[in-house]
Amino acid sequence: MKIGKYEELKIWKASVELAKEIYRATSFNLFARDYALRDQIRRAVVSISSNIAEGFERNNNNEFIQFLRIAKASTGEVRTQLYIAAEIKYLDKEKYADLNQRFYNLSCQIGKLLNYLRKTKRDQNK
């Protein structure tokens, strides 16, 4: 199946949903007042969907791969920030565990697309 626009990508949809979750989670109590951590995690989560979209729009598999790598790295950044937020009690253990798992799953999904694109690229070069 040919994907015509990035909005059709499951990873893009999931990243936008997770961005909404992060914005909600960082809008209350101590997290909302910790401007540095709040803003950093928000920038990192927005980076995921933005890089997926930008890479897709480049219409070049090599560049798409590069932007997907950046998006995948941003999932790790968010997971680290979630861990810190949980350690300093901005998030309860259940919320942390749920979000951490969802970001891990997204990272795996991005990784699978990366592997597919790399394999396709290798097969075309043969």
Which of 46, 51, 52 minimizes the C-alpha distance to 26?
A: 46
Mean pLDDT of the chain: 95
Tens-place pLDDT, residues 31-64: 999 999 999 999 999 999 999 999 999 999 999 9
Long-range contacts of 79-88 (CB under 8 A, 24+ apart): 79/103, 79/104, 79/107, 81/37, 81/40, 81/41, 81/44, 82/41, 84/37, 85/31, 85/37, 85/41, 88/30
Which residue ranges make up each domain of the chain?
A: 9-125
* pLDDT tops 80 at residue 123: no
Question: For position 120, what pLDDT does the model report?
Answer: 86
- Gap between the Cα atoms of 74 and 72, Å rounded: 5
pTM for this prediction: 0.94
- Say which CATH class 9-125 falls into: mainly alpha
Q: What percent of the chain has pLDDT over 70?
A: 98
95-118 pLDDT, tens per residue?
999 999 999 999 999 999 999 999
Tokens, residue 54: 């930008």
In this structure, are residues 51 and 71 in contact, taking their beta carbons and an 8 Å threshold? yes
pLDDT higher than threshold 80 for residue 124 = no
